[in-house]
Amino acid sequence: MTTHSLTATTADAATGAATAAPRRLEYARTAPKVFRAMIALDAAAREGLDPALVELVQMRTSQLNNCAYCLDMHVKDARKAGETDERIYLLPVWHEAPAGVYSERERAALALAEEIARIGGGVTDPVYARAAAHFAEAELAQLISVCFTINAWNRINIATRKTPGTR
């Protein structure tokens, strides 16, 4: 087993204080074929979907999965694409956000993304039906693909302790 002498700052679970944690492998360098395949999968998953919707789904999933790296990256991407601060700030509580902040289509996508991220109970019939009512079958397949792709990215970046802001 190889250990790395680099360190990254993390929060201590008990105290919340910043501590140095051993830095882990650089995934893109260490598993380049898998990394390139993930990049291709990510690009294929996004095809035909509104980029703003994709960013909302990726931000919300990253929040649920506690992936600081992906959340940081997708918030920055969303802002560059013109997303408003209000919609970014209200995303954790989108269920309670006033009407008009998120469209019914976006709400259906976010509900589906949440159930895919919390896969323990599966995707319920009402949530699936809601998404199916707002997305054509091909779009729904793409949306599901975006959901499972961001979940995979979250897991890679959490496992390797990818540091936010190091894109």
Q: The CATH number of the domain where 109 resides is what? A: 1.20.1290.10
Report if residue 6 sits inside a domain.
no
Provide the domain limits for residue 122: 28-159
Report if residue 49 sits inside a domain.
yes
Report if residue 23 sits inside a domain.
no
Query: 27 to each of 32, 59, 87, 159, 162, how far by Cα in Å?
Result: 7, 21, 32, 10, 9
Report if residue 11 sits inside a domain.
no
What is the number of structural domains in the chain? 1
pLDDT by residue (tens digit) across 19-44? 666 668 999 999 999 999 999 999 99
Report if residue 9 sits inside a domain.
no
Q: Where are the beta strands (DSSP E) in the chain?
A: 7-11, 18-22
Report if residue 96 sits inside a domain.
yes
pLDDT by residue (tens digit) across 138-153? 999 999 999 999 999 9
Average pLDDT over residues 121-145: 97
Indicate the pLDDT class of residue 1, thresholds 50, 70 and 90: very low
Between CA 144 and CA 84 the distance in angstroms is 25
